[in-house]
A and B are shown apart, each in its own frame.
Chain A
Amino acid sequence: MEFLVASAVGLLTAAGIYLVLRRRTFPVILGTSLLSYAVNVFLFASGRLASNAPPILNKYADVAYSDPLPQALVLTAIVISFGMTAVVVMVALGAYLSARNDNINMDDTAPAQGEDA
């Protein structure tokens, strides 16, 4: 089980990094999404893995619980990464619509597009 989670995190990271290094906005956004998954699972897994041990207190029996703290942190991280993705998507869209170009790198050779001539 540990190997499955670790290899999945590694693969998501690798795929995320590769896409983040692309030159167009959309792949970069996909890349950051994949990196978010990887980071969230990483943080969650830092509480160690356990099945059938939800962090819900059982008043009647003494049972094992998975670590609630990383879960709480990751929960807000998921929501915040949505906020981040939304802002980045908006920036990318605004930039594309204004410049008709979704390249993320500045090109010094060509005059800036999208400005009123």
Chain B
Amino acid sequence: MSLFLIAALPFLGALFPALLIRAGRNASASSAGLATGLAFIGLMLHAPAILRGETVQVGLEWLPALGLHANFFLDGLGFLFATMILGIGLLIILYARFYLSREDPMGQFYTYLLLFQGAMVGIVLSDNILLLLIFWELTSLSSFLLIGYWKHLPEGRQGARMALTVTGMGGLAMIGGMLILGNIAGSYDISVILQNKDAIQSSDLYLPALILILIGAFTKSAQFPFHFWLPHAMAAPTPVSAYLHSATMVKAGLFLMARLWPVLAGTPEWFYIVATTGLITMVLGAVIALFKDDLKALLAFSTVSHLGLITMLLGMGTKLAAVVAVFHIINHATFKAALFMSAGIVDHEAHTRDIKRLGGLRHLMPVTFVIATLASLSMAGIPPLNGFLSKEMMLEEISHTSWMQSPLAMSILATIAAMFSAAYSFRYIAHVFLGPKRDDYPAKPHDPGFGMWASPALLVTLVVLIGLFSAKLVGPLVAASASAVIGGEKLPYYSLKLWHGVTPALYMSIIAIVGGLVLLALHRPLERVWNALPRPEAKVIFDAIVGAATRLMQGITAGLHDGSLTRYGAIMISFTAALSIYAFSTGLLGAPTRALQQAGALPIVAWLCLIVAAACIVLFHRRRFIALILIGIVGLIVSLSFNYLSAPDLALTQISVEVVTIILMLLALNFLPKDTPVETPVLTRMRDGVIAIIGGVGVGGLIYAMLLRDFAFPSISGFHVENSYKGGGGTNMVNVILVDFRGFDTFGEIIVLGIAALVIFALTEAVLSTRVRAYLLNRKPDIEQAGDSHPGMMVVVTRMMMPVALMVAAYIFFRGHNLPGGGFIAGLIAAIAVIMQYMASGFGWATERQRFPYHGIIGSGVLIAAATGIGAWFNGQPFLTSAFGYVHLPPLNEFEVATAALFDLGVFLAVVGAVLLALESLSRFAWQPGSASEHAMDINPARDDAEQDMKEA
């Protein structure tokens, strides 16, 4: 099966459980199991090749410019992890089906679980570190959902947040480290990076990269001092804990260290950071675990301890240690998953996980007792179980390793850790299952159904079998994955067997087991001592740090974002100005290359008008009506300038937009206050004035500098000039650019315009459905109204102008391709023609005569434009490719027909619809009952009752 499919199956499968939950819990669980099972089978199909030492690779270029490839590869290491992830995943799915109660939303659970599983499989199969990072972050996110699955429990939510914060921050650090690593190696593909050991280890950036990557790995794998999130994540349902903390999430950090072992390991930095951290974690976790009364907390700290052990082995940097690490990863996954599940069973049946309230369960739950005992003994390192094998090899390896010239330091600490490890394992058996039967359990414990103990039983069978027949059963797997860890080099000699003869490790093992029994016997007095010791509480520290960070950020945010838009504006403009000043003072400005053009009298007059108008707007902006008129003057001068400066299309557009805008603002001003009060103190106004002047001088200076210099690089305009007629079939280059070269942009623009109009319509509807409507209906105008709201002269003139205006629009539209004009301008002119009717004859009169809803006009415009674009597909051309030809219809002269004109028709309709919808919506505010006169003209010669009116008058 393709690796793509294996990686994708859990994600695809994640869709089904949530949907199928309606068909029942079994259907939901089966669909999750099916997806996982298929992926597992697919993986197993690769087993023969992997065990032969081959690698399977598939690749796909995703974003080659970034070096991001969707490359997957499967080697021994990836295979080992994928097997654990999918295999134990399958067992967890079965277990969870019986563990979760009727109140728990099971569909959600399986969906989260499969998302997490997919992310994990993605990590171990990725051949590209960027891809790996994506999956890495996905595990953080999906584990957040899983840990916080019981949303009603505060511990669950807090634990999920803590896990996300710690692993997420580690992930961020790791991104930095990975990018450095990729830059040193010159590729983000892992298989390439692994070939560049010398380049990486000799680089100055080796240490920063190493530290950043290790922060990522340590946070994920709960290494000291980031170990504290793991016990808090125990608030999750037990299947989640069993999955995340035995085989998957926490092993991701180990996987990463193992994956990058060939290029990162072997240096003193690696040894001292990784091995020391691992050792501390191992001892610390083991000691704390002994004094935890919560079954899951005990297991959590034992997990921390074992992760430390594996980290330490990887940190040693020797090949043999790497082999042992791989072997212990397998063993730990089997016994720890079984232990978590057995703890879950106890919790499920006895309704408590508190060791102090348990004991004597062996009579009541014999099956669980056997499972838990075998798994515990393996964890304690008792022969002939698999935990013994790897622990023995670990001790052997450690007895040859010296730390800071001290040959005994590590051995002693490791023995102590092993001793505590044995002690808490024995405690798990002795204080939960052995001892007298009690009569005060919160519930009546008994063995669960087969479905629930099947999974741990299978794992415990593996624990025993691997212990007895390790070489046969997992020998090839260990060999394949260990050789992947050490970078494909020759494996050192080792043998997976129970009896290695009388070695230092054997003594250490014996000390550990005997010591463990002694510690258990002394548990009660030791616990008293432990409880009397002052201990830093990680959660308190964590909460304090998070709280302080939150307060700091709230302070900053509240300072910057205090709800004052004015303030945001001032900050943004000042900041932009500061950046620009910095850029200007550090940049280069060459000598002017263009001569100044002489300005005639006309431009100077226009300039004076503009200056005066703009200055007056600022001076008189409190009198809004005057300011509006002045804005109109500015707009007019801008249009005239466009015309003068050889931009006739712009001039036409600007002037028609100007008309529409001013009418729109007038409509709004009708309802708004007519004056702006003086609110800001003089100092604020002066500050704003300074900001404004700096901004104005900057922008003006910039354009002045640009105007006096030629383009720094050749412009692309030449292409448009050359191809406008040849390729686009039009002589008006601006229009050809709009409807042809940049047609897709224009297509987007008309959609945006249409959306803007619809937003206005929707807002109107929303506002008018509140009590604002009542206010408007009873509103008395606050300024004096004209005596005649529909002056006869104006009505007559506008109606006569309507056809003329439409004719002009049609003319402007048709000539657009070759002479100034086009859909935009024609649309605006047509819209103005209609608006004139609204203004002169009234809203009611005009609405009555409106046949097509404006929404429809916008929509038809967009559709026509789209259809024109799609038409090009039928000619085998890309979207919006235009075509044109010449037609001769007698008695007309020969004329040109271009598909671009059809596109322009779409633009025309969209503009008409959008402008009219916007204005019509706004006018609806003004509507009052009785305001729409039955007859727009008070004197209408065409009216039947005209004579009667005359008589009455």
Contacts and interface: CB of A to CB of B under 8 A. Distances in A.
Interface of A: 1-30, 33-34, 37-38, 40-42, 44-59, 65-69, 71-72, 74-76, 78-87, 89-94, 96-98, 102, 104-108, 116
A73 to B, nearest CB: 8
Contacts of B611: 7-8, 11
24 contacts: A1-B596, A2-B597, A8-B641, A10-B700, A11-B610, A19-B617, A21-B688, A22-B621, A24-B673, A24-B677, A34-B631, A46-B703, A52-B646, A56-B820, A71-B734, A76-B746, A76-B824, A78-B653, A85-B664, A90-B759, A90-B764, A92-B668, A98-B772, A105-B564
Interface in B667-712: 668-669, 671-673, 676-677, 679-680, 688-689, 691-693, 695-697, 699-701, 703-704, 706-708, 710
Contacts of A26: 624, 627, 669, 672-673, 676
Interface string B570-585: 1001000000000000
Contacts of B706: 45-46
> Chain B interface secondary structure, helix, strand, loop or mixed?
helix
A48 B707 contact: yes
Contacts of A24: 673, 676-677
B657 interface: yes
A40 B605 CA distance: 21
Contact of A51 (B570, B617, B646, B673): B646
A4 to B, nearest CB: 5
Interface stretch (B51-59, B239-247, B439-447, B718-726): B718-726
B108 interface: no
B924 to A, nearest CB: 11
Given A25-B672, A52-B646, A98-B770, A57 B725 contact: yes
B692 to A, nearest CB: 4
A14 B734 contact: no
Interface of B: 562-567, 569-570, 573, 594, 596-599, 603-604, 607, 610-611, 614-615, 617-618, 621-622, 624, 627-628, 631, 634-635, 638, 641-642, 644-650, 653-654, 657, 660-661, 664-665, 668-669, 671-673, 676-677, 679-680, 688-689, 691-693, 695-697, 699-701, 703-704, 706-708, 710, 715-717, 720-721, 724-725, 731-734, 737-738, 742, 745-746, 749, 752-753, 756-757, 759-760, 763-764, 766-767, 770-772, 775-776, 818-820, 824, 828, 911, 914-915, 918, 921-922, 925
B564 A106 contact: yes
Given A9-B700, A79-B828, A105-B567, 11 more contacts: A7-B611, A7-B704, A13-B692, A28-B565, A30-B627, A37-B635, A57-B725, A83-B914, A90-B918, A98-B767, A105-B565
Given A11-B696, A17-B691, A22-B621, A34 B634 contact: yes
B657 A79 contact: yes
B631 A30 contact: yes
The 5 closest A-B pairs by CB, nearest first: A10-B700, A14-B696, A106-B563, A6-B704, A83-B756
A1 B598 contact: yes
Contact of B664 (A34, A54, A65, A86): A86
A84 B628 CA distance: 17
B753 A13 contact: no
A102 to B, nearest CB: 6
B17 to A, nearest CB: 43
Given A23-B566, A94-B767, A41 B696 contact: no
A6 B703 contact: yes
B664 A20 contact: no
Interface centre among A46, A53, A71, A80, by most B CB within 10 Å? A71
A55 B763 CA distance: 40
A9 to B, nearest CB: 5
B11 to A, nearest CB: 39
A53 B597 CA distance: 14
Contacts of B819: 56
A37 B725 contact: no
Contacts of A42: 699, 703
A42 B772 CA distance: 41
Contacts of A7: 607, 611, 700, 704
Contact of A79 (B599, B653, B665): B653
B703 A45 contact: yes
Given A68-B720, A93-B672, A6 B770 contact: no
Contacts of A37: 634-635, 638
